[in-house]
Amino acid sequence: MSDEKHEHHAPPVLFDELPAAGGRKIGQVTLNIPSTLNSLNLEMVDLMLEKLGEWRDDDSIACVFIRGSGEKAFCAGGDVQALRASAVENPGGPCPYAEDFYHHEYRLDYLIHTYPKPVVSWGHGIVMGGGLGVFAGSSHRVVTEKSRFAMPEVTIALFPDVGGSYFLNRMPDGAGRFLGLTAANFNGTDCLFLGLAEHLVENDLRDHVLEDLQSIEWHGDAAQQVTEVLAGYDKRSGHARPEGNVEKHMDSIHELCGDKPIEQVVEAITGLETDDPWLAKARDGLANGSPLSVLITDRQLREAAGKPLREVFKSELVLAVNIVRYPEFAEGVRALLIDKDRNPQWQYKTIQDVPADVLDSFFRPPWDTNPLADI
């Protein structure tokens, strides 16, 4: 009981300035709600936006280190139960809390992507959805032997946002499309293959990494200095690398996804007969996901290809706001996370049932000026 009470009163994000050599400091961010696997809410996002803005302009801060509290997760995503409550209270929208959350969350992710100092994210345990947005934006992305990643948005009628339509498009040969459509899990070894992480380090070495960062005599190329520290620990952790799934399945992924139209992709994946547990789980992820969400995800990935990051975030905000105003999202969260019956009543049973004008409507801005116009 005391732990729960303590957590209730603990700040949702902890900020520490760890002393480093030469009078410099490491800014440490700890996402601090382990009971929800450090899922992001609006308060956490706003606290991080403010502190990272301060640290950006503080010459004594040499680099930033982001981690999750507890042993289970870096960050399991956005707090979608709070987003659903906002949607249910405001049917048809506007949904002030949810829309503010997405606007501020994407602003935070963009800040991390464009941060002028090294940002190390320690992606231990579960890293999903909004957690992947923070992680993917970091300049130095570290995974561990226990990292478990996914972009599971299609299962709740959302889409892989938080820059997903940027970084999924940069993965090898259709892998991003496959992961976004199927909500498939992938691990630290997969992240290295996908270009989503640069280093795999045993989680037990985290404090040693921090100590080494604190002992750096910071000079010209801070990013290179951080890379050198992490590379040393990466070498020491070679024995801890789990077996990956994505690379060994790339032939199947290419065959199933390739450059095929979405109708053929859905048919190929949902019709897959396989004894392979990873592929079977991916198949079921797509089969149980929202058909509307599958179409939105695929179209967004196509339309975002080659766009600069700021344009990608602006287009994602259009979609996120329109989706949260539409009943499908609340139903997806209900079935998966609230009633947990895993039996969502999707509005359209197949992707063929979705009218073209309904799909188009999600891509139309719901306001005159995009709230991210100034990023």
Q: Which of 99, 109, 145, 153 is catalytic?
A: 153
Residue with structure tokens 């599958």?
294
* Angstrom distance (rounded) from CA 171 to CA 168: 5
Residue written as tokens 């996901």?
Answer: 289
Residue tagged active-site, from 77, 125, 130, 131 = 130
Query: What DSSP line would sit under 58-120, residue for residue?
Result: -TTEEEEEEEESSSSEEE--B-HHHHHHHHHHSTTS--HHHHHHHHHHHHHHHHHHT-SS-EE
Catalytic annotation on 153? Answer: yes
Catalytic residue among 68, 77, 78, 285: 78
Residue where the block lists tokens 């109708």? 263
Residues 6 or more apart in contact with residue 100 via CB below 8 angstroms = 42
**Is there a catalytic annotation at residue 161?**
yes
In whole angstroms, what is the distance from residue 127 CA to residue 194 CA? 15
Closest CA to 67 of 116, 117, 11, 15: 15
Q: Are 177 and 164 in contact (CB under 8 A)?
A: no
Calpha distance 375→359 (Å, rounded): 27
Active-site residue (options: 161, 202, 234, 316): 161
The contacts of residue 267 (CB under 8 Å, 6+ apart) are none
Query: Does residue 318 sit in helix, strand or coil?
Result: helix
Question: Which residues have a catalytic role annotated?
Answer: 78, 130, 153, 161
